[in-house]
Amino acid sequence: MAESATLITHQQNRSFYEDVLLYPAPRAVGPDRLSRLYPWFAGNRVPAIEAVNQRYVVSDGVRTLDLYPVQGLAHNANMLVAYLPTERILINADLYSPPAPGAKPPAAPNASMLTLRQNIQRLGLDVARHVGIHGAVGSHQDFLAIVNRGVSSN
């Protein structure tokens, strides 16, 4: 950020980045890179915030990363999921963390897992593997086995 990197975030987070995080003033507690570059940063920064409210694609010409806002989420209305379509990998934080190898899967899905399933279906994502930011990597079949357990009409 201090060197004008583009920030990609959910549209509802934009004001936080503009008004708080990118506010051009020194940070008194634990000076960070923004503080060390102040006042240069204040006059020279180029606000580069991409606010995502629908599919947003990042590509280097070889690999593509799709970012999607998650709809209907009670946990946090400002979340995105990342999807690598060629690799069929879905990356998320807090919605579903595949169990560690040898660990027992949850007995029933939670609301965030059900919302994730609904968003996967709504977006038509062809997921093979899930990567939980706070967990392991797991198969989509394992995810479906959990979310379909005891749920008849979601």
Name the token pair of 94.
């807090």
Fold of 54-147: Metallo-beta-lactamase; Chain A (3.60.15)
Q: Residue 106 has what DSSP assignment?
A: P
pLDDT of 26 > 80? The answer is no
Give the chain's radius of gyration (CA, Å).
Answer: 19
Q: What are the tens digits of pLDDT across the range 57-91?
A: 999 999 999 999 999 988 788 889 999 999 999 99
Q: Where in the chain is the domain with CATH 3.60.15.10?
A: 54-147
Average pLDDT value for the chain? 83
Name the token pair of 15.
């004001």
Q: What are the tens digits of pLDDT across the range 96-126?
A: 999 888 888 888 999 999 999 999 999 999 9
